[in-house]
A = this chain, B = another copy of it.
């Protein structure tokens, strides 16, 4: 058959790990979803059905739990690195390991106004993401945010665009801007404090979104990306993906009522999708 194997990878996805760290009566929790992927010399696996080079994905799963006992799981980038290095040591045929870790948020329940020592309530759907890429020569880190949902009720305009025969959208100087931020950035070098770097990027993006006098989603996206680069010197580039979750003015003029940007219909689909990378220049 005139066929050959191109790029391939295999691994285990959605390994759910909940790690409790007890400091006396005070407990800390880390709620993680870990994905592991290997790339390497797997031609015979695919073509011959020879599994001699295969570390089973079930073993990958077991290893995540075993290492979660033996290593700190936060910062998650460090845990990802420990996993990657373990796997590179466990099998010769694997040339490159990718670890992806999503962190799900929990906040302490307030009891009598004070954060409880061991009881928690789920935070928003926002997830902190960490990515580790390791081979036998190097390790590289990326980070990101998924499902950070934000909205501003004013200081968002959209005017001066192309009109053609299929254009019906009215120009506006005041609309709702609602989006669900996905961001992913590279670290040129490992930051001294991964948690601080993440927090700085997140804060920069949120504050920029809140304060920006937006002329378009595109412009605000760029401002958010540039602010992230300003906030964390280790980041050479950041990619943002901003769906424009349209909140439509409902036409109550038909009923003799005036809608002064008060009554909106949030719509799930279709949505605009604006994506761009912002890169640091020297």
Contact residues of A with B, CB < 8 Å? 1-22, 27, 29, 31, 35, 37, 42, 45-59, 61-63, 65-66, 68-70, 90-91, 106, 109-112, 116, 118-126, 148-155, 158-162, 164-169, 176, 206-207, 209-211, 214-219, 221-222, 225-226, 229-230, 237, 239, 243-244, 247, 250, 252, 254-255, 257-282
Contact = CB atoms under 8 A, between A and B. Distances in A.
A18 B161 contact: no
A16 B262 CA distance: 14
A271 B12 contact: yes
A74 to B, nearest CB: 13
Nearest to A208: B111
Contacts of A226: 1, 3
B69 A279 contact: no
Contacts of A150: 109, 119-122
Contact of A3 (B118, B247, B281): B281
Specify which of A21, A63, A168, A280 lies most central, judged by the most chain B CB atoms within 10 Å of its CB.
Answer: A168
Contact of A49 (B17, B42, B215): B215
A1 B90 CA distance: 45
A7 B277 contact: yes
Contacts of A225: 3
Identical copies in the complex: 4
Contacts of A110: 206
A274 B20 contact: no
A5 B276 contact: yes
A211 B263 CA distance: 41
A48 B123 CA distance: 32
A151 B229 CA distance: 36
A207 B109 contact: yes
A2 B257 contact: no
A262 B22 contact: yes
B252 A152 contact: no
Specify which of A46, A54, A116, A230 lies most central, judged by the most chain B CB atoms within 10 Å of its CB.
Answer: A46
Nearest to A229: B3
Nearest to A177: B119
Nearest to A8: B276
A69 B262 contact: yes
